Amino acid sequence: MEQKQSVYDWKQIVDRLQQYLRLKTTPIGMKLFATREEMEAIHRIRRPQAIHTADQIVAQAARLGWTVGITADDLVSPQCGVVLGLHPRTEEWLSGKNMAGVWFENEQEAAAHQQAMTVVPFGQYEAMAVSPLIAQRFTPDICLLYGTPGQMILFINGLQWSGYKKLEWSVVGESSCADSWGRALLTREPSLSIPCFAERRYGGVLDDELLMALPPEFLLKALDGLEQLSKNGLRYPIPQYGVQMDVRAGMQHSYG
């Protein structure tokens, strides 16, 4: 049975994102499902024919425009599944021993990294799906946007236009999906990350891209803020003023 779509007008939302930020990578949505059957009921969903990382699954939506659904059995290791709440945080996982001597000096450091990761609690979900927002296949739990630092800071400025709040994020290092979709799914807060080695090697993330993960309501809030900033002449791409120019005219316009 095909899932009903929410009141979000995803075409308009994506059009506004492109108007204000000119993103090069497709904005996508991610949703967790209590059962595999619910995930497989999504219209024209693809199921993996090989073993992947979660980074690859996300990339198939963001880079190829596919709607893809997975369970823990489709993932190469528990590392990805734990972040999504599809695999328990076992003692072996918490030890991080497979990363010792590779990403971290020893097992103690690797275990500290595993403990630091922000993950969805195990036991509520059996499956996950990703899809381009414009495809309107389901109402996402969170939206994922890839963009340059310049695009991301203006997006954050849009978030802070009204109801100002200082935004703070963490960097867990490798397994930075815990900083983006793991944190956003758990906390329901905007979550910015520097994509890690695995996301870039296996997920096709470009060298100049950051990742913002956030619930849909924050996406709308940021877009409304971007609209107001645009009216004030604060737009992307940010024009270079010149490092030797008299700065007063430009500062007067932007800062008063």
pLDDT tens, 97-114? 999 999 999 999 999 999
| pLDDT per position as a tens digit, 216-256 | 999 999 999 999 999 999 999 999 898 999 999 888 888 88
Mean pLDDT score, 43-51: 97
Tell me what the pLDDT averaged over the chain comes to: 95
* CA distances from residue 147 to 60, 80, 156, 161 in whole angstroms, order as listed: 17, 22, 12, 20
pLDDT of residue 158: 98
pLDDT of residue 250: 86
pLDDT of residue 1: 31
Q: How far apart are CA 186 and CA 46, in angstroms?
A: 26
- pLDDT exceeding 90 applies to what percent of the chain? 92
Angle ∠(245,249,253) on CA atoms, nearest 5 = 130
Q: Which residue has the tokens 């002449």?
A: 233
Taking alpha carbons only, the member of 85, 104, 84 closest to residue 95 is 104
Residue 195 near residue 212 (C-beta atoms within 8 A): no
Bond preceding residue 237 cis, omega within 30 of 0: yes
Q: Which amino acid is at 125?
A: Y
pLDDT of residue 35: 98
Residue 43 near residue 137 (C-beta atoms within 8 A): yes
Q: Is the pTM of this model over 0.85?
A: yes
| pLDDT per position as a tens digit, 142-154 | 999 999 999 999 9
Query: H or E element: which one contains 29?
Result: strand 28-33
Q: How many residues appear in the chain? A: 256
Q: Which amino acid is at 160?
A: Q
pLDDT at 3 over 70: no
pLDDT of residue 6: 58
Residue 149 near residue 108 (C-beta atoms within 8 A): no
